[in-house]
Structure 1
Amino acid sequence: MSANRRPLLVLVGPTAVGKTALSLRLARQFSGEIVSADSRLFYRGLDVGTAKPTAAERAAAPHHLIDLCQPDETLSLGQYQRLAYRAIDDCHARARLPILVGGTGQYVWAVVEGWGIPEVAPQAALRAALEQLGEAEAARWLAALDPAAAARIDPRNVRRVVRALEVTLTTGRRMSDLQRKTPPPYEPLIVGLGRDRRSLYERIDARVDGMMAAGLLNEVSRLRDAGYDRRLPSLSGLGYRQLWAYLAGEMTLDAAVERIKFETHRFARQQATWFRADDPRIAWFDLETMDEEEIIAFVERWL
């Protein structure tokens, strides 16, 4: 590791792979503190369904960027990035090892790569007008105004296409120019955790069953009774939308639980698009064939 750059250990991988347990072990071993890069952990009151670290786990190692806002509040990617850099720098100031942990690829890479994130507040009227264009026409507009952004964004992802148009039309500058990366002054080691698909799915299913036993249905019911709108982004996450549908009489409880498992399997596959097996920046460890001691030794050599 370069003498003039500060270490940043990054732990990535799909949901339920085992990141939490290993992050606690790494924090104990190397005087570390955990900086969350999981967008589901931002919200207060969403504990069981997000597999939020327990009080005992948080007591075992300091955690940052958890319980930042209420379910009806928003935290932009730019706000998160600033908070993450502040937490990482605070760790360094106290001679602690920051460990960035999460499965939300957008948030991980925004920190590691130093994404430029346009600070443009949502423009409700403009956004509504752009959404009326339709998928194909919005994509054509973006290709004309910002070809670089159009090349990166899936044209079927209307929300991202509209956001790129919104930023470009509001600022007069192409979103792709505003998003240029400025790598932060860290020396990252990115450790990826994997398992074979069958094993991962079994762990996901067991975790969902555990969440149900731990009171996930009661958690969703409390949020509904508190008056939160089921359409909030925070409540569109896995577990919440399915059980809300059950409470609304739209499906049986068994069907809702099976839907949670199925959608979580799909989410785990989607995470692989952010953390690719062939990405040379990521050192992958198969937890089916390797034990934690090998990962500990690998990190120790890097430090």
Structure 2
Amino acid sequence: MNDKPLIAIVGPTAVGKTELSIKLAKALNGEIINGDAFQIYKGLDIGTAKVTEEEKEGIVHHLIDVYEPDEPYSVYKFKQDFTEVVDDIHSRGKLPILIGGTGLYVQSVLYDYQLEEEDISSEKMEIIKNKLKELSNFTNIELHNYLKEFDPETASTVHPNNRKRVERSIEFYLKTKKTLSERKKSQTFSGKYSTILVGIEMSREILYERINMRVDMMLQRGLLREVSNLVEEGYEHSQSMQAIGYKELIPVVKGEIDIETSKEQIKQNSRRYAKRQMTWFKNKMNVTWFQRDKQSLSEIADNVIQLSK
């Protein structure tokens, strides 16, 4: 490894990333960097499965509890924060270990990823909106054929009935004049770090069972009280409260639905999120995967340590 080594751990929610990161940090003189979009916020502890002081086992963690719940945060800000933290960790001769469930955050710092939020003039934005409005009248087949005209490669991987994905591919092209297939080919590891990117996965049945149990545990630990406190403090409409486990409980706090209905919503949304996470990691990153069904976390940690040598 070069003088700027980095280990990154990805995987769906509830799969065991935190525990694995602790094992690696203890073995490799590492410090952990949070790559979850909502653990960055103060006060969102239980619902984000934020690591506790006891669970840290003395390992230093970064980018947790940094911002107030009403402060906006983005992938652009994360890149800035991440760079500062990694440079600090390296300066002290330690190994940074990024642990992330937010795919775009992880991708943005590991790859030569060009953030596409370039300045678009109001005139150009109006033209794009009008074009998208025109395309909204297209049938699924017509819309798919339109995508095929300028990005046949992406079109070949998307079913015509997956209208949302077809629309996103078209919108990306209209805004950037680049195709998604071109962008995907350009995504290579940044030469800035010597990166080892590993992931943990497990069978869907076991993962979903773990997610359901985790939601039950969060509610037992006082998640509803945590959400109620945040609402009382005036954070109800903040970006942070869009996190799964929080947005579903706000109606309970306001007396609009019962807790059992909310609990099932949290479980369902968490399962769907885990599925989206895996789709992102599998399609957009070159991950070395380990099966937790077949190996213990200790065995996985040993394998990752071997990769780092």
TM-score if structure 2 supplies the norm length? 0.79
The structure 1 residue matched to 2:8, chosen from 7, 10, 18, is 10
Moved over 3 A (4+): 118-127, 129-135, 137-140, 150-155, 157-168, 173-182
> Is 1:34–1:63's contact at 8 Å kept on the other side of the alignment?
yes
Q: Does 1:282 align with 2:287?
A: yes
> Is 2:12–2:278's contact at 8 Å kept on the other side of the alignment?
yes
Matches within 5 A, 1:138-217: 156=164, 183-217=190-224
Identity across the alignment (%): 36
> Is 2:9–2:198's contact at 8 Å kept on the other side of the alignment?
yes
Aligned mates of 1:224, 1:248 — CA distance in 2: 9
Aligned mates of 1:190, 1:272 — CA distance in 2: 14
Greater relative contact order (Cα 8 A, min sep 6): structure 1 or 2?
2
The structure 2 residue matched to 1:237, chosen from 232, 243, 246, is 243
Aligned mates of 1:275, 1:284 — CA distance in 2: 10
Q: CA RMSD in A?
A: 3.7
Assess, with a 3 A threshold, how the Cα gap between structure 1 residues 74 and 174 changes in structure 2: closer, same or farther: farther
Aligned mates of 2:299, 2:57 — CA distance in 1: 25
Deviation at 1:237?
A: 1.6
Aligned mates of 1:26, 1:75 — CA distance in 2: 28
Q: Does 1:292 align with 2:290?
A: no
1:69 maps to amino acid: Y
Aligned mates of 1:164, 1:28 — CA distance in 2: 42
Q: Does 1:265 align with 2:265?
A: no
> Is 1:48–1:215's contact at 8 Å kept on the other side of the alignment?
yes
- Which residues of structure 1 form unaligned runs of 5+? none
Assess, with a 3 A threshold, how the Cα gap between structure 1 residues 16 and 178 changes in structure 2: closer, same or farther: closer
Aligned to 2:136: 136
- Matched pairs, number: 294
1:156 maps to amino acid: K
1:283 maps to amino acid: T
Assess, with a 3 A threshold, how the Cα gap between structure 1 residues 258 and 280 changes in structure 2: closer, same or farther: closer
Q: Does 1:223 align with 2:230?
A: yes
TM-score if structure 1 supplies the norm length? 0.81
Aligned mates of 2:289, 2:27 — CA distance in 1: 20
Deviation at 1:252?
A: 1.3
Assess, with a 3 A threshold, how the Cα gap between structure 1 residues 243 and 199 changes in structure 2: closer, same or farther: same
1:236 maps to amino acid: Q
> Is 1:115–1:181's contact at 8 Å kept on the other side of the alignment?
yes
Aligned mates of 1:178, 1:193 — CA distance in 2: 26
Deviation at 1:133?
A: 3.7
List per-residue Cα deviations over 1:212-233 (Å, max 9, x = no partner): 1111001111111111233x33
Assess, with a 3 A threshold, how the Cα gap between structure 1 residues 157 and 121 changes in structure 2: closer, same or farther: farther
Assess, with a 3 A threshold, how the Cα gap between structure 1 residues 265 and 106 changes in structure 2: closer, same or farther: same
Aligned to 1:103: 101
Q: Which deviates more, 66-75 or 43-52? A: 66-75
